[in-house]
Amino acid sequence: MSETTTAASRPVAAAPSPAADAPPRRLIISVRNFNFFYGNKQALQEINLDIPEKQVTAFIGPSGCGKTTLLRNFNRMNELIDGVRHTGDITLAGRSLWDPSLEVIALRRLVGMVFQKSNPFAKSIYENVVYSLRIAGVRDRTVLEETVERSLRGAALWDEVKDRLHESALGLSGGQMQRLCIARAIANRPKVLLMDEPCSALDPIATARVEQLISELKKDYTIVIVTHNMQQATRCSDHTGFFYLGQLVEFAETSKIFTRPSEKRTLDYVTGRFG
């Protein structure tokens, strides 16, 4: 994709929300002829997909359809599993994720991740947020403190926890823990934020907060979210990809996927006829 060859610039705050007829956005992630295998089992087949910058892209589909597998390739998390391999390529701002000069550590700093089950460390709230800075060797107190406030504000958690930053993160409620994980993920200013069913363990009120947060975060970050909840995809995403049996059946603007999809399988799924 020629649009993606320029390096992504540092995210600038508050780009105006995209109107329906906004000019086409730059593409930040491009997936080309991508196949992925766990041992001998093929989990993804010939995926081709472009993810636009600073928008929310949702992946939907029944369990086992490959949506999480694809998401976990964007920061090469799948490589923690033995016996995986892929063919084809995925590029981030024009550069292959498997480019030997791009270290996986550096990639994961650019592409943050929020997991299905919130997983704060058994440390204080403060230490959770600054973890990525600590491992990068940042020691400057002002930088650390500024990051904690910015990240927690960014995750809409600051007002709830500002008086107990040094208490254990394990004392937070489920929804607060997940927002803490989001704060932790945005602490080192990634370009892309991957979210793997971030609300599946949350109650409706906590879910609403996280969804509201997602629409605020897309001013600064490109977000890719995997969800089982189709209402969630319609509420907070701009583009939606429907996966089925390891294939990308259809990828289009969210409104199109849910109102007039081109594929019958997509229509059957989004109208609840299967899955």
Partner 1 sequence: MDNPLTHAADFFGDDHSESTKLMSRSLGSRILTALCIALSFAALIPLASILYLVVKNGLPQLDWEIFTQLPPAAGMTGGGLGNAVIGTLVMVGLGLALSAPPGILAAIYICEYEPNGRIAAATRFTAKLLTGIPSIICGVFAFAAVVLATGKFSALAGGVALAVLMLPTILLTSEQALLGVQRAYREASYGLGATRFQTIGRIVLPEAMPAIMTGVMLAVARAAGETAPLVFTALFSQFWMSSLMEPTASLSVLIYNFSTMPFEHQVKMAWTASLVLVFLVTATNITAQLVFSKKH
Question: Which of these, 68, 49, 53, lies nearest to 196 by C-alpha position?
Answer: 68
Task: Candidates 121, 144, 150, 229: give the one binding partner 1 (CB under 8 A).
Answer: 121
Tell me how far, at minimum, the Cβ of 235 lies from partner 1, in Å: 25
Cβ neighbours of residue 220 closer than 8 Å, sequence gap 6 or more: 11, 13, 54, 154, 186
Distances (CA, A) of 222 to 161, 176, 247, 271: 26, 22, 23, 28
Secondary element (H or E) of residue 192? strand 192-196
Q: Pick the closer one to partner 1 by CB: 188 or 254.
A: 188
Interface size with partner 1, residues (CB under 8 A):
28
User: Does the footprint of partner 1 cover residue 122 (CB under 8 A)?
Assistant: yes
Tell me how far, at minimum, the Cβ of 157 lies from partner 1, in Å: 17
User: Does the footprint of partner 1 cover residue 105 (CB under 8 A)?
Assistant: yes
Q: Pick the closer one to partner 1 by CB: 37 or 252.
A: 37
Contact 219, 187 (CB under 8 A): no
Q: Pick the closer one to partner 1 by CB: 14 or 80.
A: 80
d(CA 159, CA 76): 34
d(CA 161, CA 45): 44
Task: Candidates 10, 24, 40, 82: give the one binding partner 1 (CB under 8 A).
Answer: 82
DSSP 8-state symbol, 64: T
- Which stretch in 28-36, 178-186, 222-230, 237-245 sits in contact with partner 1 by CB under 8 A? 178-186
Residue with tokens 């995926």: 47
Q: Pick the closer one to partner 1 by CB: 26 or 123.
A: 123
Angle between helices 204-217 and 174-186 (to 10 degrees): 20
Tell me how far, at minimum, the Cβ of 123 lies from partner 1, in Å: 8
DSSP 8-state symbol, 168: B
Interface with partner 1 in residues 185-224 (CB under 8 A):
185, 188
Interface with partner 1 in residues 153-172 (CB under 8 A):
168, 170
Tell me how far, at minimum, the Cβ of 96 lies from partner 1, in Å: 18
Residue with tokens 């799948």: 78
Question: What's the one-letter identity of residue 258?
Answer: F
Residues near partner 1, by CB under 8 A: 75, 77, 80, 82, 105-106, 108-109, 112-113, 115, 117, 119-123, 131-132, 134-136, 168, 170, 181, 184-185, 188
